[in-house]
Structure 1
Amino acid sequence: MASADLRKELECYVCLNIYTDPVTLKCGHNFCRDCIGHVLDTQERSGSYSCPECREEFQDRPALHRNITLQNIVENFLSAQPDREESGVFCNYCLHTPVPAVLSCLMCEASLCVNHLTVHSKSPEHVLCVPTTSLENRKCSVQHSHPPVGGPNIGAVQQTSVLSGVTDILLDVRTAGNDLHISDDMKTVSWSSILQKRPKIPERFKCPQVMSSQRFSSGRHYWEVDVRRAGYWRVGMCYPSIDRKGDQSVIGYNKKSWCLERGWWEFDNKCSVIHDSKEIRLPGGVSSKRVRIELDYEAGRISFYDLCDPIRHLHTFTTTFTEHLHAGVYVGGGVCVLEGCIKICGGNQN
């Protein structure tokens, strides 16, 4: 088995990194001990337990059995990898644990571990070099024909790079419902009782919802939102073919979108994840007022996290994607919520 294929088999489903002290549930799936421990702690509040990967339910909190064989495989795999620690350069796309980089890309201005290198673009424009923190000194002075990710072309749909760290999400005002106000930097969306007088175009939602300019058709990405000033909200991912009017256009209310929702009444802080109108109520709500949405396109996973300390995994949807994806945001208003807003974090701003 190739090194990259083996590494993929050694990744924890929850943290997406190589197993640390792997343990096994009775359904046969493996996780890092700390990762599955946090998941089970979260599930304990709801009184029911299930495997995050296969969703098999357990009547009682499942025992965690150390997988000694898997631990030995992990140790042998890591010991066989080239020692890159001396360079002090780590992969930009390993989101949870620092992983030494094996190469840097001069065009993407990013360093990559062996796992992320395997899905990196094979385009001849992507020039690779030994890991370095001084990419500017190694870059060619010739300007490439395509714009950089997150560039000034805000109005047009943008294709993201194959790999990304904290993705610089920009909201596409062409899709924004007329009861939403979009900030000049395209990062804050607010519900308003004063309707915007935007042109009627097929892309525009009738509901208070907006999509990102960026689209994702490969790679692993994540983006974050600050929801502390929002009342009723939904954040997630959707296909561009999602309806633009009617109840079926709201993210989560169709087969073309996946979302995390916080209900109307802020004081109870009830949250759910929704896909195809099927709702799963989550215990504990969002305690940090900041949410992370992670996408692994090839693995078919959309995950939601509460950015408390420690970070709490809320839910992961698993499917096979058939279109590229956009970030989606819904901000409610009306009698219960007079106003509310969501701010996109990360990227060029925090």
Structure 2
Amino acid sequence: MASSALRDELDCSICLITYTDPVMLRCGHNFCRVCIDRVLDTQDQSGLYSCPECREEFQERPELQKNITLHKVAERLQEEVIGIFCTYCIHSPVPAVKSCLHCEASLCDKHLRTHNKSPDHVLTDPSTLPENRKYFIHKELLKYYCTKEAVCICVSCRLAGEHRGHQMEMMDEASEKKKKKKLRNLLQKLITKREKTEERVRSLEERRRKTQEKSSGEAERVTALFIDMRRRLDDLEKKVLSEISRQEKEESLSLSALIHQLEIKKDELSRKMRHIEELCNMTDPLTVLQEPDTGDLCDPEEGGGDEDTGGHDKAHDVDDLDMTVISDTFRTLCDIISGIRIYGEDPADILLDVNTAQNNLLISDDLKTATWTEITQNRPETAERFQKHPQVMSRRRFTSGRHYWDVEISRSGLWRVGMCYPSIDRRGHHSYIGDNSESWCLYGGRVSNNHYSVIHDMRKTQLPHQVSSNRFRICLDYGAGQLSFYELCDPIRHLHTFTTTFTEPLHAALWVYHGGMKIMGGTASRRNHHNRRNLP
């Protein structure tokens, strides 16, 4: 059998156990392949490699050469440790079932009977070599366990001064206590952790299944969306081409009629010109004088030099071709394309922050609806609460990504909806949403001439669109610096897009007067469905 000193030489200096697939560096030192690979991986970032044993440096990652001889020796040692045979069955080796620590021998069933009769012959499983059960200094068997030093000792160690007075236990007893107190508790903890890990795996698998289902559903929805888009685009193309063809035919017929009239007039003028030329070439003065007045040769209505414009009003110029239907079509096309982006995302869950609500705003229990009221709510005056104008901000803030949210607005009253920075003024006259550089909004209501307006930093722009719906969508692309407003009609209609560079987090913001506004969708809204208020 291999000696202890020899086995130590077969230990990897990194993992401190017997070599597994040993490889050698150029400096001659050996390591497990896995161990040295890990060390070299950690040195990749610095670009300088060195041997863990002698610190010799290499400019490039060294190649690993398999040490075949050391590999065979390590394998033989593993076989020797794992497969221990009976010491006395020399001619017919039989795997040993016990080792006698007193005799330092491995025994099979046949040779074990004698050793069972003597109490001095301590038996153990043959997985550990008997010489490993001895203290290397006293060369005596390890029998006791010092609880204070947590080490196994022999009889001489117990009698020596180093462990004198320490509490001792027999190794078997100490081993059983360790199994019961520590190992079994550890086993139970590991079992619990494994169960939690298995539960986590099941949860992740369920999540993966739901993700796959959602992805499949989204793919079907997008496919249906693009099929509908293609249908609508085909309809638009046919409509525009039909209108262009109709106008072309109408204009062509009008121009053809005018050309025919002008051709007739041209022939008549040519005839008159020839007659005048004949008169001019005559030498007989009597004939010339007897000819009727030449002024009668021109039509009375053609006098005054209007020949160039006669009949021009009967037909349009080509530049007068009506392009309105084409422009309307392109606007509809833009609305369709805009609809792709805003329908491709999940709605943000917006909840109103009561701590910012002005005292003339009533906030619903589900934090989704803001309604103007004459009854003051007597909320405490704080730095974050709006004091002058009936408006409120959202709890959630946005610092990145693309998001959208929908609102439904009452038909009565005035309203503003948009987004603002948390640094917006909460007290002054310019704390209106849109009346400062910290907010952007869409404005409308019963006294807005049935039109929408957008406001930022007190700059108000009236939009050409007339009010046709009371539901709107607000889309934020924080990274692109875009805040867009859409009217949720059929098809969805783009109203306006602010473009800027956002420098702070953004909150949703509402302002209502003599009316109400409700945020659509969101988990909280579904949980508190019974708390929703109906808008007037």
Q: Is the 8 A contact 1:228 1:290 kept in 2?
A: no
So what's the TM-score if we normalise by structure 1?
Answer: 0.52
Deviation at 1:285, TM superposition (A): 3.1
Name 1:286's counterpart in structure 2.
467
Name 1:231's counterpart in structure 2.
413
Structure 2 spans left out of the alignment, 5+ residues:
1-225, 231-235, 237-322, 328-339, 527-536
- Aligned partners of 2:412, 2:404: CA distance in 1, in Å? 21
Q: Is the 8 A contact 1:226 1:342 kept in 2?
A: yes
Name 1:276's counterpart in structure 2.
457
Match runs of 1:64-103 below 5 Å = 95-96=342-343
Identity %: 57
Given residue 96 of structure 1, which amino acid in structure 2 is its aligned partner? Y
Secondary structure, counterpart of 1:195 in structure 2: coil
Name 1:205's counterpart in structure 2.
386
Given residue 288 of structure 1, which amino acid in structure 2 is its aligned partner? S
- Aligned partners of 2:435, 2:446: CA distance in 1, in Å? 17
Work out whether 1:310 is the aligned partner of 2:487.
no
Name 1:327's counterpart in structure 2.
508
Secondary structure, counterpart of 1:248 in structure 2: helix
- Aligned partners of 2:435, 2:325: CA distance in 1, in Å? 33
Name 1:298's counterpart in structure 2.
479
Name 1:255's counterpart in structure 2.
437
C-alpha RMSD of the superposition: 2.7
- Aligned partners of 2:424, 2:342: CA distance in 1, in Å? 29
- Larger relative CO (CA 8 A, sep 6+): 1 or 2? 1
The number of residue pairs the alignment matches comes to 196
Q: Which has the higher strand share?
A: 1
Q: Is the 8 A contact 2:352 2:395 kept in 1?
A: yes
Given residue 343 of structure 1, which amino acid in structure 2 is its aligned partner? K
- Aligned partners of 2:522, 2:350: CA distance in 1, in Å? 7
- Aligned partners of 2:358, 2:386: CA distance in 1, in Å? 5
- Aligned partners of 2:482, 2:325: CA distance in 1, in Å? 24
Given residue 259 of structure 1, which amino acid in structure 2 is its aligned partner? C
Work out whether 1:342 is the aligned partner of 2:506.
no
Q: Is the 8 A contact 1:293 1:305 kept in 2?
A: yes
Name 1:167's counterpart in structure 2.
348
Secondary structure, counterpart of 2:466 in structure 1: coil
Deviation at 1:347, TM superposition (A): 1.4
Q: Which has the higher helix share?
A: 2
Match runs of 1:84-233 below 5 Å = 95-96=342-343, 165-206=346-387, 207-233=389-415
Q: Is the 8 A contact 1:230 1:342 kept in 2?
A: no
Q: Deviations over 1:235-278 (max 9, x none)?
A: 00000000001221111000110000004527x42210000111
Q: Deviations over 1:111-167 (max 9, x none)?
A: xxxxxxxxxxxxxxxxxxxxxxxxxxxxxxxxxxxxxxxxxxxxxxxxxxxxx6201
Q: Deviations over 1:217-252 (max 9, x none)?
A: 000000010013441000000000000012211110
Q: Deviations over 1:32-51 (max 9, x none)?
A: xx8xxxxxxxxxxxxxxxxx
Q: Deviations over 1:149-202 (max 9, x none)?
A: xxxxxxxxxxxxxxx620111000000000100000000000000111100100
Bigger radius of gyration, 1 or 2?
2
- Aligned partners of 1:168, 1:230: CA distance in 2, in Å? 26
Given residue 482 of structure 2, which amino acid in structure 1 is its aligned partner? R
Q: 1:63 to 1:270 in 2, by over 3 A?
A: closer
Deviation at 1:61, TM superposition (A): 7.3
Given residue 519 of structure 2, which amino acid in structure 1 is its aligned partner? I
- Aligned partners of 1:286, 1:63: CA distance in 2, in Å? 23
